[in-house]
């Protein structure tokens, strides 16, 4: 990150101040007028600085979460994640090689002037955008897909993210597939995705598996 940023209208801001404005704006509550107390600038100027900083950070770092092909996500690290999850769930998930948790989320937005139905989510009854994240047992976000229209189902987001292709590439020539578990029953079981058991009558082991995986979003 450079020491200073040169914005439009001859506005020069230090990189530290840009970062502080972005972080403060993203915290809650983070209204622009409230930021004037911390940063002696007009709220319209703070808005330009925030938008610039957010765009700059996104352009420089988006590659860290839009692909699984990262140096830190080695085969050994994924095996460590799988071992932690297997240890937390006892014998229930041993052999499944579950290394992370996948979840969809809905972020509310203002109601647009046009195409309101496209981003309207009937379940949440709000307008917004859909995202899908894959999280390691230590809370680290390994992959983030989106945004997609709020009206879309989580299963559609899963298919559009092409995450199975990424998992297949990451798995390489190893025989055992790397698998992910989803807490609510919204996805379809596949070679790379473990879903809760869903049938009329479940035996005790299946019930225990569903209950444990429903609360084991983070294990470390």
Least confident of 133-147, 164-178, 185-199: 164-178
The secondary structure of residue 187, as a DSSP letter, is S
Cα angle 172, 174, 180 (rounded to 5 degrees) comes to 80
Q: Is 136 helix (H, G, I), strand (E, B) or coil?
A: coil
**Per-domain residue ranges of the chain:** 4-63, 75-215
- pLDDT for 194 equals 77
pLDDT at 176 over 50: no
pLDDT at 167 over 90: no
What's the whole-number mean pLDDT along residues 189-216?
Answer: 74
- pLDDT for 220 equals 42
* Distance (Å, whole) CA 65 – CA 131: 12
Q: For the segment 117-129, what is each residue's pLDDT rounded down to a tens digit?
A: 889 988 888 999 9
Orientation angle between helical segments 15-26 and 43-61, nearest 10 degrees: 100
Q: Provide the whole-model pTM.
A: 0.74
* Distance (Å, whole) CA 18 – CA 180: 37
Q: For the segment 34-87, what is each residue's pLDDT rounded down to a tens digit?
A: 899 889 899 999 999 999 999 999 999 888 888 888 888 888 888 888 888 888
């Amino acid at each position: 990150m450079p020491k200073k940023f040169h914005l439009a209208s001859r506005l020069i801001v230090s990189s530290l101040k840009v970062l502080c404005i972005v972080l403060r704006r993203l915290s809650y509550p983070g209204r622009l007028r409230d930021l004037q107390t911390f940063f002696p600038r007009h709220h319209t100027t703070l808005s330009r600085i925030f938008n610039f900083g957010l765009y700059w950070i996104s352009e420089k770092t988006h590659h860290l979460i839009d692909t699984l092909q990262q140096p830190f996500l080695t085969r050994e690290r994924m095996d460590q994640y799988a071992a932690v999850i297997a240890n937390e769930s006892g014998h229930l998930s041993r052999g499944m090689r579950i290394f992370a948790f996948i979840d969809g989320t809905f972020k509310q937005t203002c109601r647009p002037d046009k195409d309101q139905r496209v981003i309207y989510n009937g379940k949440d009854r709000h307008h917004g955008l859909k995202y899908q994240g894959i999280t390691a047992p230590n809370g680290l976000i390994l992959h983030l897909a989106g945004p997609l229209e709020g009206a879309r189902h989580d299963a559609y987001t899963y298919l559009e993210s092409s995450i199975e292709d990424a998992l297949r590439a990451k798995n390489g020539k190893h025989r055992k597939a790397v698998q992910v578990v989803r807490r609510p029953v919204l996805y379809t079981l596949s070679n790379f995705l473990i879903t809760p058991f869903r049938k009329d009558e479940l035996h005790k082991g299946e019930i225990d598996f569903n209950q444990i995986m429903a609360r084991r979003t983070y294990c470390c």
